[in-house]
C-alpha cells in the first residue's frame, strides 16, 4: 500500500514515510492510493476478537511496509497493556433499543484522542527507524485542548523524540490547561499562544512547510513530525473502532450480519468522522454519517449547501475541542469525493487560504450528501441535553457528546430514520466538569476549584471521576509561557535550543 498527496498525485511514498513526515512537502495530506475492502465474512469475524486483534487486522491492511511482529507490538503496547481502564478499550453502552454510545475515552487522558495517540508513538518510532535513521523526531502539535495532553502522555520520555505543544491560551477548559501545564517528562514543552485554535494550527502548518526552519533542525540532527490528525498515523487507528463497534453490536445481537447502522460524530477537525467514512468505504455497512457541530457550524453549512465559508464569528463554546473553523481533514474527503482530483483539491484549498471561502461543484455536493447529514447545537441546548439525558437514561455525557446526542435527536425527528445508531462519545464528563455540573444544576458552577467541582459532580451523579484527572491535584505547574501567534516559530527554535 502506497500513499499519495491530496494536492499532488505524483507523490508516492510508503506508510512509514507518510507517518514520519506528517504532511506532504507541498502542503497536501497523505492518503492511501486505494482503500482496502473487507467482505462481510471478514467484518463479522471481528466478533469474538479482542480490540488488539481487531486493530492488528485493520492496521496490517494499511501498513504493508511493517512486519506482522511490528504491527502486533504496536497494537499490544497501545491497547493491551492496561493503558485503557476498560477491557474492551472502546466499549458500547446501550441507551435504549437501537441507540448506543461508543465510549472512546477510557484512555489515560479521558478523551478520544488517546485511541490514536497511545499507538502513534510506537508507529512513529518504527516508521522513523525505516526512513529517517538517526534523526531525532520533533513532534509539533497545535491543540484545541485534548490532542495536546494525549500527545504529551503518548510521547513523554519516548526515546529519540521531543514534543512541543501549542494551545490557545483562552481556548481550553481549566482541566485541559491543568493537564498540560503539569505534564511530566524530560522531552516535553508546552506553550500557550495569544489567539484561537485556528491560529495555532495555521502557525504549526507554516512551521512545517518552512524550509529554512527545517534546514536549521536538520543541522542539529532533528526533523519534524506531526501528532495532529493531519498525520495518517493518527487517522488510521481511528478506523479500527468503527469496525469494533459494529462487531460488538453483532456479538450482542443488537443487529444482524450486514445490517446498516448510523454513526453520529461530534466533529471539529473532521478526523474522527473521516475515519468512519473510510470504514464505510472499506465495506462496513453504514447507512448515514451524521456530522455534529457546536455553534461553530461551518461544517453544517458546508454539508447542507456545498459552500465552505470560514468568514464568520468564532465562538468559544462549552465544547472547546470542536471550536474550529478550518477543518483540516475535510481535504481528504474532498480528494475522495472528487475522484482523486488533486488539482481541484489544491484549487479549493488555495481559495480557502486566500478568500476564506470556496464552493464545491454540484456533482461533488450530491456525493457528499449521499453519505453525510449534518446539524449543530449551541451551548444552551448542549446543557439541556446533558440534563435530559441524565434524567432519561441515567447516562452522564460530556459537552461534546451532548452535541452529538442533540444533533441526533433533531436528525431523527426531521427524517424519521430509525436505523440502529451509534453516537461517538469523545470525552469523559469529568474532563469538562464545570460545564456538566452547571447543566445539572442551572445557575451553579460549584464551589471552589476544579477538583472541588469534580467532587461535587461525583456526589451529585454517583459516577466516578477517572483517576488520572483527580491525580492532577497538587502536581506542580511546569509550563506557564504565553506567546503571540506570529512568534511561534521563534519560540519553537528557542525551546529546542536551535539558533536560527
- Which grid cell sits at 448? 471552589
Q: Which of 106, 113, 162, 431 is catalytic?
A: 113
How far apart are the C-alpha atoms of 452 and 433, rounded to whole Å?
10
> By C-beta, is 125 or 288 nearer to ligand PLP?
288
Of 268-276, 304-312, 479-487, 489-497, which segment contacts ligand PLP by CB under 6 A? 268-276
Task: For the CB of residue 251, give the shortest distance to ligand PLP in the complex, in Å.
Answer: 26
Residues in CB range of 173: below 8 A, 6 or more apart: 145, 320, 431, 432, 434, 435
- Which grid cell sits at 221? 540532527
Residues in CB range of 430: below 8 A, 6 or more apart: 110, 175, 436, 454, 457, 463, 465, 466, 469
Out of 17, 57, 100, 113, name the contact with ligand PLP by CB under 6 A.
Answer: 113
Residues in CB range of 10: below 8 A, 6 or more apart: 4
Task: For the CB of residue 229, give the shortest distance to ligand PLP in the complex, in Å.
Answer: 5
Is there binding between residue 365 and ligand PLP (CB under 6 A)? no
> By C-beta, is 128 or 327 nearer to ligand PLP?
327
Out of 264, 298, 422, 427, name the contact with ligand PLP by CB under 6 A.
Answer: 427
Handedness of CA 341, 343, 349, 351 (dihedral sign): negative
Out of 270, 302, 372, 376, name the contact with ligand PLP by CB under 6 A.
Answer: 270
Is there binding between residue 229 and ligand PLP (CB under 6 A)? yes
Out of 262, 272, 293, 344, name the contact with ligand PLP by CB under 6 A.
Answer: 272
CB of 66 within 8 A of CB of 3? no
Kindly list the distances between the CA atom of residue 369 and the CA atoms of 302, 373, 415, in Å, as whole numbers in the listed order.
10, 7, 14
Task: For the CB of residue 353, give the shortest distance to ligand PLP in the complex, in Å.
Answer: 20
Is there binding between residue 271 and ligand PLP (CB under 6 A)? yes
Task: For the CB of residue 100, give the shortest distance to ligand PLP in the complex, in Å.
Answer: 18
Of 29-37, 105-113, 187-195, 330-338, which segment contacts ligand PLP by CB under 6 A? 105-113
Number of residues that bind ligand PLP (CB under 6 A): 17
How far apart are the C-alpha atoms of 270 and 105, rounded to whole Å?
18
How far apart are the C-alpha atoms of 330 and 242, rounded to whole Å?
19
Is there binding between residue 166 and ligand PLP (CB under 6 A)? no
How far apart are the C-alpha atoms of 491 and 500, rounded to whole Å?
11
Is there binding between residue 426 and ligand PLP (CB under 6 A)? yes
**Is 113 an active-site residue?**
yes
Partnered with residue 111 across adjacent β-strands are: 427
In the shown chain, the binding pattern of residues 135 to 164 toward ligand PLP, with x for contact by CB under 6 A and - for none, equals -----------x------------------
**Which residues are identified as catalytic?**
113
Residue numbers at the binding site for ligand PLP (CB under 6 A): 111-113, 146, 229, 266-272, 321-322, 400, 426-427
Amino acid at each position: 500500500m502506497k500513499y499519495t498527496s491530496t494536492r499532488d498525485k505524483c507523490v508516492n511514498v510508503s506508510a512509514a514515510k507518510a507517518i514520519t513526515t506528517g504532511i506532504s512537502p507541498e502542503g497536501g495530506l497523505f492518503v492511501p492510493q486505494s482503500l482496502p475492502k473487507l467482505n462481510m465474512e471478514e467484518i463479522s469475524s471481528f466478533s469474538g476478537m479482542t480490540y488488539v486483534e481487531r486493530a492488528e487486522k485493520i492496521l496490517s491492511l494499511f501498513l504493508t511496509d511493517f512486519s506482522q511482529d511490528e504491527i502486533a507490538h504496536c497494537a499490544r503496547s497501545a491497547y493491551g497493556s492496561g493503558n485503557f481502564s476498560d477491557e474492551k478499550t472502546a466499549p458500547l453502552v446501550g441507551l435504549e433499543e437501537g441507540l448506543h454510545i461508543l465510549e472512546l475515552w477510557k484512555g489515560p487522558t479521558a478523551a478520544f484522542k488517546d485511541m490514536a495517540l497511545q499507538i502513534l508513538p510506537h508507529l512513529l518510532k518504527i516508521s522513523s527507524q525505516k526512513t529517517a535513521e538517526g534523526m531525532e523526531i520533533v513532534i509539533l502539535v497545535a491543540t484545541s485542548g485534548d490532542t495536546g495532553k494525549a500527545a504529551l502522555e503518548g510521547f513523554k520520555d519516548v526515546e529519540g523524540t521531543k514534543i512541543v505543544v501549542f494551545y490557545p491560551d483562552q481556548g481550553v477548559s481549566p482541566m485541559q490547561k491543568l493537564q498540560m501545564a503539569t505534564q511530566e517528562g524530560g522531552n516535553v514543552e508546552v506553550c500557550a499562544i495569544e489567539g484561537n485554535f485556528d491560529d495555532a494550527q495555521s502557525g504549526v502548518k507554516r512551521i512545517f512547510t518552512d524550509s529554512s526552519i527545517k534546514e536549521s533542525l536538520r543541522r542539529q540532527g532533528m526533523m519534524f513530525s506531526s501528532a495532529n490528525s493531519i498525520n495518517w498515523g493518527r487517522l488510521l487507528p481511528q478506523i479500527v473502532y468503527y469496525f469494533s463497534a459494529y462487531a460488538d453490536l453483532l456479538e450482542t445481537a443488537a443487529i444482524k450480519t450486514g445490517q446498516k447502522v448510523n454513526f453520529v460524530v461530534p466533529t471539529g477537525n473532521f478526523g474522527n468522522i473521516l475515519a468512519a467514512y473510510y470504514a464505510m468505504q472499506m465495506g462496513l455497512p453504514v447507512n448515514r454519517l451524521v456530522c455534529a457541530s457546536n455553534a461553530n457550524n461551518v461544517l453544517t453549512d458546508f454539508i447542507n449547501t456545498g459552500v465552505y465559508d470560514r468568514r464568520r464569528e468564532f465562538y468559544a463554546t462549552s465544547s472547546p475541542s470542536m471550536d474550529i473553523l478550518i477543518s483540516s481533514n475535510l481535504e481528504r474527503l474532498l480528494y475522495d469525493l472528487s475522484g482523486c482530483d488533486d488539482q481541484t483539491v489544491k484549487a479549493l484549498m488555495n481559495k480557502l487560504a486566500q478568500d476564506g471561502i470556496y464552493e464545491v461543484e454540484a456533482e461533488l455536493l450530491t456525493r457528499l450528501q449521499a453519505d453525510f447529514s449534518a446539524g449543530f447545537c449551541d451551548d444552551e441546548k448542549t446543557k439541556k441535553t446533558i440534563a435530559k439525558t441524565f434524567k432519561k437514561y441515567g447516562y452522564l455525557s460530556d459537552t461534546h457528546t451532548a452535541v452529538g446526542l442533540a444533533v441526533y435527536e433533531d436528525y431523527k425527528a426531521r427524517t424519521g430514520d430509525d436505523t440502529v445508531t451509534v453516537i461517538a462519545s469523545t470525552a469523559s464528563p469529568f474532563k469538562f466538569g464545570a460545564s456538566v455540573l452547571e447543566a445539572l444544576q442551572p445557575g451553579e458552577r460549584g464551589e471552589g476549584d476544579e477538583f472541588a467541582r469534580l467532587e461535587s459532580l461525583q456526589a451529585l451523579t454517583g459516577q466516578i471521576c477517572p483517576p488520572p484527572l483527580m491525580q492532577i491535584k497538587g502536581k506542580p505547574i511546569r509550563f506557564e509561557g504565553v506567546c503571540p501567534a506570529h512568534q511561534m516559530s521563534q519560540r519553537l527554535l528557542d525551546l529546542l535550543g536551535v539558533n536560527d
